[in-house]
Each structure stands twice: as structure tokens, then as C-alpha cells.
């Protein structure tokens, strides 16, 4: 499915260079290794919970690679570690949320251009549209717009927030890219049982929004589609929806047991080719990379993971009194007394 009328132009049309292709592979390896390690950290008690993304590396790295961090803004869910890593976010600061030491992450959203991690299903979608609409209100010279990209899954696409956001974005021609990672499952419910018609991209037509349904396991296709969508939105043509068809190869979260709703054989049959191995074979076949490069990429990923794990373990607990400083704009006398008592007790611990 491709209903995007604007032909790719400029950077959107430029083919990826061999160096960029190797960079994409290195990013995918780093994300894959960190993702698998994060599950182990949860089992070891280093972090209390994590939402794996095994099998979605191409969708996340490819889309994140298209972001211009000098002017665009990304609004993630709780499963966009690969996007954060691709955008250059400090991963210790990012993983602090999974460590449960800070709400939304210790990184600076304004500097990184990545909004705080959103745990509410589809909660980041209206935020992205609001930011994008602000770009059209602020732009006075007719130049290119900053673009918002918001992530959500096939399950979240059934939330009312998504439909309201898409309608508003279409009416206001907000420069926003709705990036749907259709990984086949809304926790334990398959897509076919909760998305009427079976396609999220098809819904975009109801709002007059052009849509792209792409192979989300092909990192090059993801980069190309996301660049096209950004070019369309940046030129003032309004929103675009991308549905990246991929597969969640593991549990919804580290507290989920996928064996309760699908068998290992069903998982293997549904997952298809591993996006990382698929890309590796393509680079080898085209002479873009060799075994020495792949070994170097894996070694770098392992070293990075060790550094991140050490940094996460070094994170201390946050003082509980911060809720009184940051949650309430104006505190009541009762809250002020509670805060004073808490601080006094903390000093004697």
C-alpha cells in the first residue's frame, strides 16, 4: 500500500551510501545486543522491568535514522529503545526509566529531541500532533517545517486518542508522521482480532491522510519510506501514516508469558526472516561488508552494553521528596507538612 502522492526529492531520494548501510547494520547490532541484555538485567534484578523489541530493529533503526535532530521531535512509547539509540540518546539516561529511578528518563528531551518515554498506550500521539501544530503556528517565512514523529503499535491504533489525533492533524495539516509498528500482537491479542479490516494504514484514508504500508523488517525500505514521509510533512502537505509490518519475536514485556497465547512454532512461522541476518546477507552479497566488519560491529556492541550496564548499576535511588518539588505546581499546607516530615526522616536514615 502506497498512497503518498509526493515524489521523493532531495535527501529523501538519495540512495544510501555503503558507509550509511554499514552504519545502519552497526546500529542494529548494538540495539539487538542491548535489547537481549536488558532482558537478562531484569532477570538479574538490575532493572525491574523492560519491554523487548526483538525483531523490530529494522523498523526502529531505519525510522530513527531519518530524523533531523536539529529541527524534528520524536514522541516514543516504552518500546523505542532502538530509536533512542539511533538518535544518539545517552542509553544510561534512557534506561534510567527501566531502572525505575526517574520518570521519563534522565536525558534532556529538548537536547536529544526525544520526548520522555510514554507508558500510557497511545498517550504520545496527541502530544506529537500538538507539537507539530505548533510548528505551523510558529512558521512565518514559509520555509521547511520541523516534523514530529510519533510511535505506536497495532494495538494502540484502536485507542480513541489515535483517531482524535489523526483527525486533528489532517484538518490542521500538522507536520506529523504516525509511525505504526505492526508487530502482529496487541499484547496477547493478534492484530486480526482487534484491527477491523486488518490494516492500520487503510484507516488513514478516512481522514484524508496518505499512507505507506512497508516491510518493517527491511531497514533500507524503512529509511526510504520515513524520509519520504518527512519530506511530505516538512513541505506543508500535512501528516503521513507509515505502517511497518514486522513481528514481535518475544514477550510483550518481561512480565508477559507469550506461551499462553501462541506456540513456539506459531512464533517461528509468523516471524519470517530475522531482519538483522537478512541485512547481513544483503551487505555480504553486495560486497559492502565482510566478516571482519561484522565481527568488529559485534565486539563494539558488546563493549557498549558493558559500559551501559555499569552505568545503570551506578545509578542511585532518587530522593522521594522530588515528588513535592516537581509534581505539584502549588502544594497545600498538608503536603508541605508531609514534605517537611519526609525530608527530616530522610536526613536521619
Contact 157, 82 (CB under 8 A): no
- Output the pLDDT for position 259: 83
Section 318-329 average pLDDT: 71
Counting every residue written for the chain, the total comes to 349
Whole-number Å distance between alpha carbons of 100 and 244: 30
Grid cell listed for 79: 518500546
Grid cell listed for 324: 513535592
Q: What is the pTM of this model?
A: 0.89
In Å, what is the CA distance from 272 to each residue of 11, 16, 212, 250, 263? Answer: 31, 25, 21, 13, 15
- Output the pLDDT for position 12: 65
Query: What percentage of the chain has pLDDT greater than the value 70?
Result: 93
In Å, what is the CA distance from 271 to each residue of 19, 238, 246? Answer: 29, 33, 8
pLDDT > 80? residue 271: no
Whole-number Å distance between alpha carbons of 281 and 286: 9
SS3 190: strand
Whole-number Å distance between alpha carbons of 38 and 199: 31
Section 17-44 average pLDDT: 97
Section 76-86 average pLDDT: 97
pLDDT > 60? residue 222: yes
Whole-number Å distance between alpha carbons of 214 and 225: 8
Closest CA to 111 of 136, 147, 84: 84
With cut-offs at 50, 70 and 90, classify the pLDDT of residue 7: very low
Contact 249, 54 (CB under 8 A): yes
Mean pLDDT of the chain, nearest integer: 91
Strands (E), 216-336: 240-245
**C-alpha 277 chain-centroid distance:** 21
Cell 545502519 -> residue: 24
> Which residues, in sequence order, are bridge partners of residue 2?
212
With cut-offs at 50, 70 and 90, classify the pLDDT of residue 264: confident
- Output the pLDDT for position 190: 85
pLDDT > 80? residue 183: yes
Grid cell listed for 296: 568488529
Name the DSSP letter for residue 86.
H
pLDDT digits (tens, 9 = 90+) for 93-131: 999 999 988 777 889 999 999 999 988 999 999 999 999
Active site residues: 248, 252, 261
Amino acid at each position: 500500500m502506497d498512497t503518498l502522492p509526493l515524489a521523493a526529492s532531495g535527501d529523501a531520494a538519495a540512495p544510501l551510501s555503503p558507509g550509511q548501510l554499514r552504519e545502519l547494520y552497526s546500529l542494529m547490532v548494538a540495539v539487538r545486543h542491548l535489547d537481549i541484555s536488558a532482558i537478562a538485567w531484569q532477570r538479574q534484578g538490575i532493572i525491574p522491568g523492560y519491554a523487548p523489541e526483538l525483531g523490530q530493529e529494522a523498523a526502529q533503526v531505519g525510522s530513527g535514522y531519518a530524523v533531523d535532530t536539529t529541527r524534528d521531535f520524536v514522541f516514543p512509547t516504552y518500546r523505542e529503545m532502538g530509536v533512542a539509540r539511533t538518535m544518539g540518546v545517552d542509553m544510561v539516561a534512557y534506561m534510567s526509566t527501566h531502572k525505575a529511578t526517574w520518570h521519563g528518563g534522565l536525558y534532556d528531551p529538548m537536547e536529544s529531541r526525544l520526548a520522555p518515554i510514554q507508558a500510557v498506550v497511545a498517550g504520545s500521539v496527541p502530544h506529537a500532533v500538538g507539537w507539530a501544530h505548533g510548528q505551523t503556528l510558529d512558521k512565518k517565512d514559509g520555509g521547511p517545517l520541523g516534523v514530529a514523529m510519533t510511535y505506536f503499535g497495532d494495538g494502540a491504533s484502536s485507542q480513541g486518542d489515535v483517531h482524535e489525533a489523526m483527525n486533528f492533524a489532517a484538518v490542521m495539516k500538522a507536520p506529523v508522521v504516525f509511525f505504526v509498528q505492526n508487530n502482529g500482537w496487541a499484547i496477547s491479542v493478534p492484530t486480526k482480532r482487534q484491527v477491523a479490516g486488518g490494516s492500520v494504514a487503510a484507516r488513514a484514508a478516512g481522514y484524508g491522510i496518505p499512507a505507506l504500508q512497508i516491510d518493517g523488517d527491511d531497514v533500507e525500505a524503512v529509511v526510504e519510506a520515513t524520509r519520504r514521509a518527512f519530506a511530505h510533512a516538512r513541505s506543508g502537505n500535512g501528516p503521513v501514516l507509515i505502517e511497518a509490518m514486522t513481528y514481535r519475536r518475544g514477550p510483550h514485556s518481561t512480565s508477559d508469558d507469550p506461551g499462553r497465547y501462541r506456540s513456539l512454532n506459531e512464533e517461528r512461522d509468523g516471524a519470517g526472516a530475522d531482519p538483522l541476518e537478512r541485512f547481513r546477507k544483503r551487505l555480504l552479497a553486495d560486497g559492502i561488508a565482510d566478516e571482519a566488519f561484522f565481527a568488529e560491529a559485534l565486539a563494539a556492541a558488546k563493549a557498549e552494553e558493558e559500559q551501559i550496564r555499569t552505568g545503570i548499576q551506578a545509578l542511585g535511588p532518587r530522593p522521594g521528596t522530588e515528588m513535592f518539588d516537581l509534581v505539584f505546581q502549588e502544594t497545600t499546607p498538608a503536603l508541605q507538612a508531609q514534605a517537611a516530615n519526609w525530608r527530616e526522616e530522610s536526613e536521619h536514615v
